[in-house]
């Protein structure tokens, strides 16, 4: 049982959401953020990526950057761009990207449950990225980027969501990327209480995206023990695990570890069965891989897989353990600069661009890791290779924040 609680959200005032909505801080770099905000005083990137308001030479991790984020957030509140809920609320959050629809609950999740392992993780965090989030949260006295969580489906939660969505939404906007973001606020005390009970019965939760944010929230809470405020929970959106869209996280490698293309294909052929493909390969079957090298695509398949091991049977594990490490010398993909990761939303064209442009010698496409595979690994207490999943559409920034100080 996990405490998934309502909170007094800081959210856009009426008519302000379209200007505020921004991509998550970690999917665009500084220059992309500057361009995206375009000097707009209401762009939420001024809070999530405050370095865009400072000279280009300023280190994005300098203290003045975090301080500027707080100044900008206070300015948004003072100008009435963001307003605070009067009572604790939940929100129903629907994202629509083409044929894909995802519906989740915006809530605050107990840090104690995270620390106790009832909010399960499947990735290691990087100390530098975790520290960055700690400093950002501390400066803002708020969590502005939600953690993407998965839960088992609940009929009681579904019933409340359906009733809520029969009403007019509080926010209904379309981002520049063409993704529709719609939110309905649940502020009736009896409905809030019913949803709190229903969410508590859903069992353990699983971090799909936001390992650094949840880890940072835990550190902030530990540092503030005994102080007033809501630092004992973190901002999240909880989705049923069978209701989210997962794409592959593909790989490119800078060189062939001293081998020629033909030599590499020869040794690779001993690991997987290879066949030529007349078109780009986006695998739809487990244990099938696409390979782009020398301007051509091949399909590879591995059949001798131990299906009893939830970690070893993952395609990202098979590629790492049988190809990247022994054949290409990528021992630690978290730190090796020779490997790069390409989110599935960028498609096979990005693999071709990187290889044809000389930035990589070979590219690999994979079948997406399923949410059930993620749950199996996390429930077993194991950790996936880095960049095992790419969730799309991404949760927007600027539509709700969780203040953590009184």
Q: State the pLDDT at residue 363.
A: 98
Are residues 81 and 197 both part of a single domain?
yes
Q: How many domains does the chain have?
A: 2
Are residues 77 and 211 both part of a single domain?
yes
- Over 80: is that where the pLDDT of 406 sits? no
List pLDDT tens digits, range 49-87.
999 999 999 999 999 999 999 999 999 999 999 999 999
In a domain, 387, yes or no: no
Confidence of residue 114 (pLDDT cuts 50, 70, 90): very high
Q: State the pLDDT at residue 383.
A: 87
- Over 90: is that where the pLDDT of 124 sits? no
CATH of the domain at 354: 3.30.1760
Nearest to 93 by CA among 190, 186, 14: 186
Q: Find the domain containing 180 and state its range.
A: 4-245+392-403
List pLDDT tens digits, range 263-289.
999 999 999 999 999 999 999 899 999
Are residues 141 and 290 both part of a single domain?
no
- Cα-flanking dihedrals φ and ψ of residue 207, to 5°? -75, 115
Q: 134 near 33, Cβ under 8 Å?
A: no
- State the pTM of this model: 0.89
Separation CA 214–CA 134 (nearest Å)? 10
Q: State the pLDDT at residue 103.
A: 97
Confidence of residue 334 (pLDDT cuts 50, 70, 90): confident
Confidence of residue 125 (pLDDT cuts 50, 70, 90): confident
Q: State the pLDDT at residue 381.
A: 87
How many CA atoms lie less than 13 Å away from 376 in the CB half-sphere? 13
Are residues 129 and 265 both part of a single domain?
no
What is the per-residue DSSP string for 57-114?
TS-TTSHHHHHHHHHHHHHHHHTTSEEE-SS-BEEEEEEEETTEEEEEEEEEEEHHHH
DSSP 8-state code for residue 345? G
């Amino acid at each position: 049982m996990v405490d998934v609680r309502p909170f007094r959200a800081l959210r856009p005032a009426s008519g302000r959401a379209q200007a505020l909505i921004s991509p998550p801080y970690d999917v665009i770099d500084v220059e992309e953020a500057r361009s995206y905000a375009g000097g707009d005083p209401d762009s939420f990137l001024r809070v999530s990526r405050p370095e865009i308001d400072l000279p280009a030479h300023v280190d994005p991790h300098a203290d003045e950057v975090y301080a500027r984020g707080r100044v900008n957030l206070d300015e948004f509140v003072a100008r009435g761009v963001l307003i605070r809920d009067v009572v604790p609320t939940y929100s129903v959050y629907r994202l629509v990207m083409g044929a894909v629809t995802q519906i989740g609950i915006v809530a605050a999740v107990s840090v104690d449950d995270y620390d106790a392992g009832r909010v399960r993780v499947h990735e290691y965090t990087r100390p530098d990225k975790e520290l960055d989030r700690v400093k950002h949260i501390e400066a803002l006295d708020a969590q502005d980027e939600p953690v993407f969580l998965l839960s088992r489906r609940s009929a009681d939660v579904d019933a409340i969501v359906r009733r809520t969505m029969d009403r007019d939404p509080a926010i209904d906007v379309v981002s520049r990327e063409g993704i529709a973001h719609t939110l309905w606020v649940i502020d009736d005390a009896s409905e809030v209480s019913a949803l709190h009970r229903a969410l508590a019965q859903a069992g353990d939760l699983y971090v799909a995206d936001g390992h650094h944010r949840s880890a940072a929230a835990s550190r902030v809470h530990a540092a503030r023990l005994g102080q007033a405020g809501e630092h004992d929970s973190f901002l999240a959106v909880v989705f049923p695990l069978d209701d989210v869209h997962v794409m592959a996280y593909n790989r490119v490698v800078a060189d062939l570890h001293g081998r020629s293309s033909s030599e590499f294909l020869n040794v690779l052929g001993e690991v997987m069965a290879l066949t030529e493909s007349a078109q780009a390969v986006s695998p739809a079957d487990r244990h099938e891989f696409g390979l782009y090298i020398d301007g051509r695509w091949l399909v590879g398949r591995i059949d001798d897989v131990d299906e009893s091991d939830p970690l070893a049977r993952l395609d990202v594990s098979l590629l790492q353990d049988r190809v990247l490490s022994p054949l290409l010398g990528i021992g630690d993909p978290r730190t090796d600069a020779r490997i790069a990761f390409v989110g599935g939303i960028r498609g096979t064209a990005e693999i071709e661009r990187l290889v044809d442009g000389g930035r990589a010698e070979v590219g690999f496409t994979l079948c997406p890791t399923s949410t059930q595979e993620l749950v199996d690994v996390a429930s077993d207490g194991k950790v996936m290779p880095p960049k095992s999943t790419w969730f799309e559409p991404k949760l927007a920034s600027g539509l709700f924040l969780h203040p953590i100080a009184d």
